[in-house]
Amino acid sequence: MDNNKRYTEVTEQLANLRSGAWLDMGFSKELEARYQEAQMDWYRETIRISSLLAVLLLSTSYVVEWSTGLHLSVFTLVVRGVAIAAFLGTYLYARKSKRMTWKYWVVTVNTLLVSASLLLMAQEISQPIKMMYYCNVFFVEVVVFTFVRLPLNFTNTLGLVLLLMVGGTVYLDTMSLDVSAHVLFFMVSGTLIAVMVSIKTEKMSRGSFLKSELIQHEKNQLRELNDHINEEASLDRVTRLMNRVSFEDKLLSSWSFSTQNRQWLVLVAVHVEHFAYFNEQRGAECGDDLLREMARKIRTVLLDKEDCACRTSGGRFVIMFTGTEPMVNSQLESLREKLSHINVLDRYPAMGEVVRLSWGRVTLEPDTDRDPRGLIDRMFMHLVPLESTALCCREQKQSGGGNL
């Protein structure tokens, strides 16, 4: 999916999130996967912290029993021990697992275990410690629903199960009717508030995620626009080769690299003689067609990734080859063969002055400190006609410049 489609999708999802039903917060499959991936670090840290808090809460009950002389049944002790072991395992799972595929189920099972342990202890302990354990169940709900933030389907189901567990425990407890009613009212209202806060927090989190996605898409669009502008500014309008400024920058960077690696660079100048006369005789459109055809033929001989070419002005082209000497010689021979037959010149021969091609070559050796950009203009002062003998057959190596 391209950036524009993603931007449209995120915009639509944000509008639906703001105006849709309070339970309708799902994204498309791809967007939902990105949201869950973005929330992975949050889930990992909250699960680790909440697991340690649960272990601390259950461990505190040992201190309460020791200080008050209370004795719990074997079943309650086993459930509490299993819950502590499960939370320690959950901590290791959140620490070691990379994908955390079962994170929601692990949190749900642990919530039921710790709530069951607290409710069992509350049944076997008298007032006022009994009320402390009931309040701890509400504390567990707050942590799970508003801190860990389970998905809505897990939140609603788990909240309903917890209410049934608390209701059943209160019914079986030996408290008076007034106290039971107050406890049940506290737990029901507390659970509903925690679930509502969880839904609101999840909606805000998803809205923030969509806004960050929009900002990222806008950054990508601006980056693509800047890249396009920079690319257009570096290319010749007619031939789509490099312009002189971008070619000189490329030449300097390649020259620095070749100096470090003791490699040679080969510059080739190609000139359409009497190009201005051809433009005058045949018109600017034919002149542009001639330049485009030459650019296409030049582009076909650029084999190495560092090879490049530019049109400096009028009918003047400069090509940079960076391969080995046999490869460059092969490229020069191929270039000569391709430029020997220009279809535009065959179809529209100029009257009077003869329009022909000339070229020249200079090899830049890495031992010189001279600026290679100065060669570009001097090369066009020492050109030879494009003939059957290729430049690769001539001994014309120069140390940074000179007569070709």
Exposure of 5 in the CB half-sphere (CA atoms within 13 A): 5
Would you state the structure tokens that stand for residue 255, as one six-digit string? 């020259």
The C-alpha atoms of residue 234 and residue 63 are separated, in whole angstroms, by 75
| Final residue in a domain of this structure, among 218, 233, 252 | 218
Q: Are 214 and 293 part of one and the same domain?
A: no
Domain that holds residue 57: 3-218
Under 8 Å between Cβ of 269 and 315: no
Q: Are 60 and 109 part of one and the same domain?
A: yes
- Here the CATH number for the domain that contains residue 357 is 3.30.70.270
Would you state the structure tokens that stand for residue 65, as one six-digit string? 């029993």
Domain count, the chain: 2
Q: Which pLDDT score, from 0 to 100, does residue 396 have?
A: 42
- Pairing label, strands 384-385, 397-398: unpaired
| Final residue in a domain of this structure, among 218, 252, 276 | 218
Q: Are 27 and 118 part of one and the same domain?
A: yes
Residue 404 domain-assigned (yes or no): no
Q: Are 88 and 148 part of one and the same domain?
A: yes
Q: Which pLDDT score, from 0 to 100, does residue 1 have?
A: 53
Closest CA to 402 of 358, 370, 360, 362: 362
Q: Are 355 and 292 part of one and the same domain?
A: yes
Residue 229 domain-assigned (yes or no): no
Q: Are 392 and 248 part of one and the same domain?
A: yes
Q: Are 200 and 96 part of one and the same domain?
A: yes
Q: Are 307 and 197 part of one and the same domain?
A: no
The C-alpha atoms of residue 158 and residue 105 are separated, in whole angstroms, by 11
Residue 232 domain-assigned (yes or no): no
Q: Which pLDDT score, from 0 to 100, does residue 398 have?
A: 41
- Encode the chain (404 residues) as per-residue pLDDT tens digits: 566 777 788 888 788 777 766 666 777 788 888 888 888 888 899 999 999 999 998 888 888 888 888 788 899 889 999 999 999 999 999 988 888 888 899 999 999 999 999 999 888 888 788 888 888 888 888 888 888 888 888 888 888 898 888 888 888 887 888 888 888 888 888 888 888 888 888 888 888 888 888 888 888 888 988 988 888 888 999 999 999 999 999 998 888 887 777 677 899 999 999 898 898 888 889 999 999 999 999 999 998 888 999 999 999 999 999 878 888 888 999 999 999 888 888 888 776 667 889 999 888 876 665 678 888 888 888 888 887 555 664 444 443 333 33
Q: Which pLDDT score, from 0 to 100, does residue 264 have?
A: 73
DSSP 3-state helix, strand, coil percentages of the chain (rounded to 5)? 70, 10, 25
Under 8 Å between Cβ of 333 and 373: no
Which residues neighbour 213 within 8 Å (Cβ) at sequence distance 6 or greater?
Answer: 6, 10, 31, 34
Which of 264-290 are b and which e, b meaning 16 or more Cβ less than 10 Å from the residue's Cβ?
bbbbbbbbbbbbeebbebbeeebbebb
Residue 89 domain-assigned (yes or no): yes
Q: Are 340 and 199 part of one and the same domain?
A: no
> Which DSSP category does 340 fall into?
T
Q: Are 213 and 248 part of one and the same domain?
A: no
Residue 227 domain-assigned (yes or no): no
Residue 235 domain-assigned (yes or no): no
Report the interhelical angle of 103-124 vs 74-96 (nearest 10°).
160
Q: How many CB atoms lie within 10 A of CB 45?
A: 12
Q: Which pLDDT score, from 0 to 100, does residue 112 have?
A: 93
Q: Which pLDDT score, from 0 to 100, does residue 81 have?
A: 92
Q: Which pLDDT score, from 0 to 100, does residue 352 have?
A: 63
Residue 234 domain-assigned (yes or no): no
Q: Which pLDDT score, from 0 to 100, does residue 395 have?
A: 41
Q: Are 203 and 54 part of one and the same domain?
A: yes
Under 8 Å between Cβ of 237 and 331: no
Q: Are 209 and 315 part of one and the same domain?
A: no
Residue 225 domain-assigned (yes or no): no
